[in-house]
């Protein structure tokens, strides 16, 4: 049986490559059906664009009525999980990465601009006499609450919580928690102002 495992994995990769790249409405329909079969939740009315890459979909929960743009990457692992709410929009080339033992939670009504990276893990680098590549990873989590807008080219680092209604300005690097209804920007991201609530 072990002899056939590499062949089965290779065949699965080819099938997923084909499914990822089917154009038009047939592509949307095929990707949604395929991911429903492999995911942990029976979402509906999601649109998965061409070129998406999703690892360990059984450890990813999708809400409904969401849009996942061209070339997005959503990486879970055997020991991690990702939860994505309903009515969420990912623009093109968004990476949601919870490999290792990480966790990422994205609430409802969240907008994520193109080229955004959310990564719940990071490289360890404490030992100066050992290559960073050999030091393993530190695990963490990222929580994005409801009704958040993350602008294009942002990076959200491990162990950050973005509060409800917050806005992350384009190009920002978030290294610490962002309060509800706050607008932040810059590297590292700092408070610009608070949104009026009322």
Residue numbers annotated as active site: 123
Q: How far apart are CA 75 and CA 191, in angstroms?
A: 30
Query: With left for phi above 0 and alpha for psi between -120 and 50, is residue 51 left, alpha or beta?
Result: left
Q: How far apart are CA 136 and CA 173, in angstroms?
A: 23
Rounding to the nearest 10 degrees, give the CA dihedral for residues 133, 119, 76, 85.
180
Residue 156 burial by Cβ neighbours in a 10 Å radius (0-12, 13-18, 19+): buried
If we measure between CA atoms, which residue out of 97, 109, 105, 115 comes closest to residue 154?
115
Q: Which residues pair with 137 in a beta bridge?
A: 123
């Amino acid at each position: 049986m072990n002899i056939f495992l590499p062949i089965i994995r290779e065949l699965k990769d080819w099938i997923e490559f084909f499914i990822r790249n089917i154009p038009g409405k047939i592509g949307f329909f095929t990707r949604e059906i395929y991911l429903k079969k492999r995911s942990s939740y029976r979402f509906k009315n999601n649109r998965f664009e061409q070129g998406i890459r999703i690892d360990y979909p059984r450890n990813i929960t999708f809400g409904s009525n969401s849009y996942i743009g061209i070339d997005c990457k959503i990486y879970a692992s055997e020991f991690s999980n990702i939860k994505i709410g309903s009515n969420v929009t990912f623009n093109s080339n968004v990476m949601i990465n919870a490999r290792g033992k990480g966790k990422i939670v994205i609430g409802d009504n969240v907008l994520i601009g193109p080229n955004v990276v959310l990564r719940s893990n990071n490289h360890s680098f404490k030992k100066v006499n050992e290559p960073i590549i050999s030091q393993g990873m530190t695990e963490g989590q990222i929580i994005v609450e409801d009704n958040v807008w993350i602008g294009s080219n942002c990076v959200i680092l491990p162990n950050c919580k973005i509060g409800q209604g917050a806005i992350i300005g384009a190009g920002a690097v978030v290294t610490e928690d962002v309060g509800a209804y706050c607008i932040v920007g810059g590297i590292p991201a700092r408070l610009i102002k608070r949104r009026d609530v009322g």
